[in-house]
Chain A
Amino acid sequence: MIAELGHFALILALLTALVQGSLPMIGAARGDAAWMALARPAAVLQLVLVALAFAALTYLYVVSDFTVINVAENSHSAKPMLYKVTGVWGNHEGSMLLWILILALFGSMVALFGANLPPSLRARVLGVQAWIGIGFLLFTLLTSNPFLRVFPAPADGRDLNPLLQDPGLAFHPPMLYAGYVGFSMAFSFAIAALIEGKLDAAWARWVRPWTLLAWVFLTGGIALGSWWAYYELGWGGWWFWDPVENVSFMPWLLGTALLHSAIVVEKRDALKVWTVLLAILTFSLSLIGTFIVRSGLLTSVHAFATDPERGLFILILLLITIGGSLLLFALRAPVLKPGGLFAPISREGGMVINNLFLAAACATVLLGTLYPLFLEAVDGSKVSVGPPFFNATFVPLMVPLIFFMALGPLMPWKRADLAGVFARLKLAALGALAAAGLTLYLREGWPVLPAAAMGLAAWLFVASLVEWGGRIKLFRAPLSDSWRRARSLPRAAHGMTLAHAGMAIAVAGMIGASVWNLEEVRNLRPGESMQVAGYDYRFDGVEQIEGPNYLADRARFTVTREGRPVAVLTPEKRLYPVQNMPTTEAAIHTTGVSDLYAVIGDSDGRGGWTVRIFHEPLVPWIWLGCLVMVLGGLVSLSDRRLRIGAPKRAKARPDAAQEPIPA
C-alpha cells in the first residue's frame, strides 16, 4: 500500500511538473500574470508530492518491506537502522529519487523566497526547473522505479554493499547531489535570461547565492567522498583520479569559476556571455557526471550497476538539455549587451585569469577522463589514464592559479596598480620564504620542488590574511577600531578570506600527502614491532570479533614514540556473510600534522600477518582546508546582501565590497 502510494505520488509529481513547465512559460511569453503565478504553487506542490514518495520509500526501508524489490536488493533486516535509512539512496533507483527530491526542494525555494524576482523571470526559472524535473521523473518512472513489488517476497534482503555501510559514505551522496542539483538553479536562471534576452546586475545577485550554496555542498560532498576513500579503501590514498571522482570534480572547477565570474557581472556588468555559458556548462557537467556513473560508459571502482538502456535514456535527456541550451545560447547570447570596460590589470582581469585557468584545468580533467573512450572508439585499443597524467597536466595549471589567487583580492576594480599590489604582498612573500625554508630544514635531501610548493601555499595563506587585515586596518588602528571594522565588514568579505585561506591549507595538505607519505609493508608475528617515520608499531595480535552484520579479524597495534605511548590502532578485516564480501577497515590516528594509518592483510598461516603501515604527513589538513572553505561559503551565504529574498533592501546599502581598496 505504502509503495503504491509512493509510486502514485511520483506520477502526480510528474503531472504537476508538466503544468509547471508549460503554463507559466506560455504566461511569461504572453505577459499573462495569472498563468505566470501558477508556477509558485505548482513548485511547492511538486515538492510535497516528491517528498511524499521519498518518505514512502524511506518507510519501506525502515520496516524492511521485502515485497518491494528495491528494498530486498539493497537492505537486510539485520542492518543497523542508520544504514537502513541511508540505504534508501545507496542504490541507483533510490538515489535518483533523492536527486529529484533535491531538485524539487531548490525549485520550491525559488517559489517561496523569490517574492521580489520579476514575475516573468520567476515563471521562466521555475519553468526550466520543471523541465529538468520532468526529464528525471520520466527517467525514474520508466526505467528505475523504486516501488516495484516482487512476488513471492524473499525471506530477507540482499544487503547494502558493505563498502557503503559507512557513515562517511552515507552522507556523501546527498551532499554531492545537493551540489550537482544546486547548479541547476544557475542553469535555469541562465536559460531564463537567454529567453528574456536580458541579463543585468540583479540577475547576477540572484544567481550568486544559489551557486554559492551548490558550491558549498559540492565542496563538502567531494571532501567527504575523498575522506571515505582514504579510510575505507585502505590504500592510504585520498584521491585516485577515478572517473567517478573526476565527474564530481569537473562541476566543482567550473562552479568555482562561475562563482567568480558572477561577481564581475554583479559589480561591473561585464563577462555576461561567458557567465551564462559557464552556468550552462557547470550544470551540463553535473548531468554528464550522473550519466557516466550510471551508464557503464567508463570503468570505475565504485560505479552503480549499469544498464545500457538506462544509459541511452539519460543520453537522450542530455542531448535535449545540454544540446538545447547550447543551441539557445548560440542563438540568443549575441543579443546580450556587452557591459563595463576594465583594464587588463584589475580585479576583473584577475577574475578572467582565474576563470581561464579553472576552465583549462576542467578541460584537461574532462579530456583525461574521456580519453580511454575516445581512443577505444578510434582504434579499438584499451587504455586507462591514471594519476600520472593528471599530475602532469592538472598540477602545472594549478600553480599559476594559486599564485594569482593571492593577487586578485588585493586588486581594485577597473584598474589596478601592480606595483602597489606586490608592495602589499611583502609579508606574503616573507611567509612563502619562511615556509620553503622550514621545509628544506625539516626534510632531508634538499627537496626543492616540494619546498617551493609549500612556499606557494604559504604565499596564498598569508596574502589572504593580509587582504583581510588591510580591510580592518589590523595593527594600524587600535584593536577596538579593527574589531569594529571587522564587524561592519560584509560577511562575504570574511567568507572570501576563509575560502581562500582554506584553499591554502588544503593545498599544503595535498602537497604533504603526495610528497612525503611513507608506506611500509611487513609480515609480523604477534609481539614483533616495526618502525615507520620515528613511530614504533608493536603488533599485539589478532582477535576474532562479531559485529551486527559482519565477522572480523581485529588486529591491535600499540604505537609509541621514543617509549611514550601515542595510540592504539585496531584495523579490521571484515567479512559480510550476506554478500560473502570481505572489506578492509583501516585504523587511523591523527596527530593533527600527520596521520598514522594501519591496515591488516592476510595471515600467512604460520602465525604471521601481512601488515601495512602508512605515515601520512599533513593529510588531515586536506579536510581541514575543505572544512574552512565550506565555512567560508556558509559565512558568505549569511551575508544579508546575498540572503535569499533580501536583494532589494540590500541594494540600498552602501556596498563596502565595491569600494576600491587604496593600494
Chain B
Amino acid sequence: MSLTRKRRRLYIVLAALLVFGGATALVLTALDENLDHFRSPKDLIAEPPAPERGIRLGGLVEEGSVERSADGLTVNFRVTDLTESVSVTYVGILPDLFREGQGVITLGNMRADGTFAAREVLAKHDENYMPREVVDALKASGNWRHGEELSQ
C-alpha cells in the first residue's frame, strides 16, 4: 500500500519535473531572444544595437520632422530626446494620438544605416491627461470647474 503511494508520488513528481523543466527551458531560450529593450535616441547613437535586437525607442516626435512619402503610406519622422535624434521610418496608419511635439514609443529595429525601422508606433498619452492627484487637488482646492473647452 505505502509502496504504491510512494510510487504514485514518484510518477507525479517525475511528470512535474518534466513539464516544468521543459517550460523553464522554453522560457530561458525565449527570454534571451524576444525582449524589446527600451532605449532613448542618445542610447541608440552611443551604442548601436544589433539589427536583430528588438528595441522600444521612446522620445518626442521632433517638430516639423514628419514627412509622408508620395505613396501616402510611408512616414518618416525623427524621435528626439533633445540630445540626439534618430530617423524613424514607418509604413502604415499612425495611431490616433500621434502628434508632433508629443511623446511617442516606437517598436522596431535599428538598421545598418543608422535609421530605425518601426513596426509599431504607440502615442504616449493624450493632451488632456488627468492624473489622479489632480482630482484630489481639485477636491482640496474646491476648484473643480470646467473651462470652456470642456463644456462645449
Q: Taking beta carbons and an 8 Å cutoff, which residues of A are in contact with B?
A: 69, 72-73, 148, 150-152, 154-156, 158, 234, 301, 305-307, 310, 338, 341-342, 344, 349, 352-353, 356-357, 360-361, 363-364, 367-368, 371, 381-386, 388-389, 392-393, 396-397, 521-523, 573, 577-584, 599, 601-602, 604, 606, 608-610, 612
Contact = CB atoms under 8 A, between A and B. Distances in A.
A364 B72 contact: no
A358 to B, nearest CB: 10
B23 interface: yes
Given A152-B145, A344-B8, A393 B16 contact: no
A305 B128 CA distance: 13
Most buried by B among A384, A579, A582: A384
B74 to A, nearest CB: 10
Nearest to A77: B151
B23 A388 contact: no
Given A152-B142, A601-B93, A604-B68, 14 more contacts: A69-B135, A151-B142, A305-B130, A356-B16, A381-B38, A385-B31, A386-B35, A386-B107, A393-B26, A578-B150, A580-B149, A582-B96, A584-B93, A602-B93
B150 A342 contact: no
Interface of B: 4-5, 8, 11-12, 15-16, 19-20, 22-23, 26-27, 29-31, 33-38, 54, 56, 68, 71-73, 91-94, 96-97, 107, 122, 126-128, 130-133, 135, 138-139, 142, 144-146, 149-152
B26 A522 contact: no
Given A360-B20, A521-B91, A389 B35 contact: yes
Contacts, number: 160
B93 A158 contact: no
Contacts of A397: 19, 22-23, 26
8 contacts: A148-B139, A356-B20, A361-B23, A397-B22, A579-B128, A581-B96, A599-B93, A601-B93
A541 to B, nearest CB: 16
A311 to B, nearest CB: 11
B19 A356 contact: yes
A368 B71 CA distance: 39
B132 A307 contact: yes
Nearest to B68: A604
Nearest to B134: A305
A150 B144 contact: yes
B31 A72 contact: no
Nearest to A573: B96
A310 B133 CA distance: 11
Contacts of B16: 356
A523 B71 contact: yes
B151 A156 contact: yes
A356 B13 CA distance: 10
Q: Sorted from nearest, which 7 A-B pairs have the closest CB atoms?
A: A523-B72, A382-B38, A601-B93, A392-B30, A388-B34, A582-B96, A604-B72
A154 B92 contact: no
A342 B73 CA distance: 63
A369 B89 CA distance: 29
A576 to B, nearest CB: 11
A234 B95 CA distance: 10
A154 B151 contact: yes
Contacts of A385: 31, 34-36
B25 to A, nearest CB: 9
A257 B126 CA distance: 41
B29 A392 contact: yes
B92 A521 contact: yes
A190 B130 CA distance: 42
Contacts of B146: 154-156, 158
Contact of B139 (A150, A152, A338, A360): A150
A371 B34 CA distance: 12
Contacts of A523: 71-73
Given A151-B142, A154-B144, A610-B72, A388 B30 contact: yes
Nearest to A361: B23
Residue from B31, B127, B150 having most chain A Cβ neighbours under 10 A: B150
Contact of A384 (B4, B56, B68): B56
B5 A581 contact: no
Contact of B37 (A148, A306, A383): A383
Given A386-B36, A389-B31, A363 B20 contact: yes
A142 to B, nearest CB: 13
A338 to B, nearest CB: 7
A610 to B, nearest CB: 5
A632 B37 CA distance: 42
A260 to B, nearest CB: 15
Nearest to A357: B19
Given A386-B36, A580-B127, A367 B8 contact: no
A520 B81 CA distance: 32
B93 A610 contact: yes
Given A305-B131, A342-B8, A371 B144 contact: no
Contacts of B20: 356, 360, 363
A69 B130 CA distance: 14
Given A383-B37, A578-B150, A393 B93 contact: no
B120 to A, nearest CB: 9
Contacts of A363: 20, 23
A392 B15 CA distance: 21
A577 B144 CA distance: 20
A246 B139 CA distance: 35
A602 B8 contact: no
A521 B73 contact: yes
Contacts of A305: 130-132
A512 to B, nearest CB: 22
B5 A341 contact: yes
A360 B19 contact: yes
A152 B23 CA distance: 58
A511 to B, nearest CB: 19
A156 B150 CA distance: 8
B93 A367 contact: no
A342 B8 CA distance: 7
From A69, A156, A389, residue with most partner B Cβ within 10 Å:
A389
B93 A392 contact: no
B36 A384 contact: yes
Contact of A612 (B93, B97, B122, B130): B93
A533 B152 CA distance: 45
Contacts of B23: 360-361, 363-364, 393, 397
B145 A154 contact: yes
Nearest to A148: B139
B75 to A, nearest CB: 9
B8 A341 contact: yes
Contacts of A367: 27
A368 B34 CA distance: 10
A392 B145 contact: no
Nearest to B152: A577
